[in-house]
A = this chain, B = another copy of it.
Amino acid sequence: MSNVYEESLLLHEKYKGKLEIKSKVPLNDARDLSLAYSPGVAEPCRKIQQNQEDIYKYTSRGNMVAVITDGSAVLGLGNIGPYAALPVMEGKSILLKQFANVDSFPICLNTQDPEEIIKTCKLLAPSLGGINLEDISAPRCVEIERRLVEELDIPVFHDDQHGTAIITTAALINACRLTKKRIEDLVVVISGTGAAGSSIIKMLHKLGIKDIIAYNITGIVHKSKEKTYDPLLIEILEITNKNNKLGNDTLEYALEGADVFIGVSAGGIVNKNMIAKMNKDPFVFSMANPTPEIMPEEAKAGGAYIIGTGRSDYPNQINNVLAFPGIFRGALDCRARKINEEMKFAASLALAYLIEEEDLNKDYIVPSPFDNRIVTAVRNAVIDAAIKTNVARIK
């Protein structure tokens, strides 16, 4: 892996960052200037003043997203602050452009106070068609996103929460399609209850999975610990561990008799013996980055049947880039007031059913990021769901 880091550094240095802007209109002479700027520009201003919705007709707002972070939970690097987070935000911006032609710019906020973050996002909204929150730590991220979804009428989406959840859900649907296991019968163990883990738990609960056991650094999420839990963990507690399993309070114990392991926690914490204690032919989605909870070779040795990771060098890459470009494309195109649960779930289904049943195999349960059908499929599904749930402003 060291090579990819060195090469990445050279790439970033060569181009001095990854993002630039471009004029969509000609600017070659005094006439062009008088149309794009003074005095001509006064006319679209007047139109928007008369009818605020005309902002979508005469400006780039309808296609313009901000990728906003406070630098508190960047990749696997932790709380590295807003300056060091900028390369990731630029990366997100160019992926949005490349995969879905969504324009965006990176904003790294010099605060980690949730109220200041919420306030700032609201102040920035008039020039934005949507907000992609990024790399904000849990549980703060959940409250920040919830408030912004409530208080703004443009789509706000925290990809670290929902991106992984949407793709994990798609992967699980396809693992079941392939193996004929029934979603509602699965016992699922999730390691990690941060941004991604909490969203996965909520989404799988809505999907109909009845038995979810959550695990984090304090052990198995269990009602005996309720007094020490923040509101997010209490929410998780309410929909997990229906049989009050605790045992010796280890991940190993939790995995006994489980059908699915989902890891969004830390590298190397699962071994093949733990996998061997799961039910027959388990699904193991081990997504800690860059080192998974268990490496695919070892998971296989423990008996795992379907294996996914976050890595591009193994099959079944659970990669957020499968979801967020199409989700924003759809939300912007129908001018959605928000991105709701139905839209996220529609994105999961669209991703899953992009693969025909006869093409599914244990090394192909999620599409490749460069499958060029993805964005359109996700976009269309998201728009349909937005219209059905009355959050689309244009149809």
Binding site for B on A (CB under 8 A): 1, 4-9, 11-13, 15-25, 27, 29-30, 33-49, 52, 55-64, 71, 74-77, 80-95, 97-98, 103-111, 116, 120, 122-127, 289-290, 310-312, 321, 369-370
Contact = CB atoms under 8 A, between A and B. Distances in A.
A19 B289 CA distance: 35
Contacts of A20: 21-22, 24, 60, 63, 97, 103
A23 B98 contact: yes
B127 A106 contact: yes
B60 A16 contact: yes
State the majority secondary structure of interface residues on A: helix
A76 B125 CA distance: 24
Given A25-B18, A29-B370, A36-B18, A76 B108 contact: no
Given A16-B59, A21-B21, A91-B36, A9 B47 contact: yes
Given A11-B35, A42-B290, 11 more contacts: A7-B35, A16-B62, A18-B36, A19-B60, A21-B103, A22-B22, A30-B312, A41-B87, A42-B76, A49-B84, A106-B127
Contacts of A21: 19-22, 93-94, 97, 103-105
A55 B83 contact: yes
Nearest to A106: B127
29 contacts: A4-B39, A5-B40, A6-B43, A11-B35, A12-B41, A12-B44, A15-B25, A16-B24, A16-B62, A17-B63, A18-B60, A21-B104, A25-B94, A27-B94, A30-B312, A30-B370, A33-B312, A39-B289, A44-B87, A45-B84, A45-B88, A48-B86, A49-B80, A55-B86, A59-B86, A81-B126, A89-B127, A107-B127, A116-B123
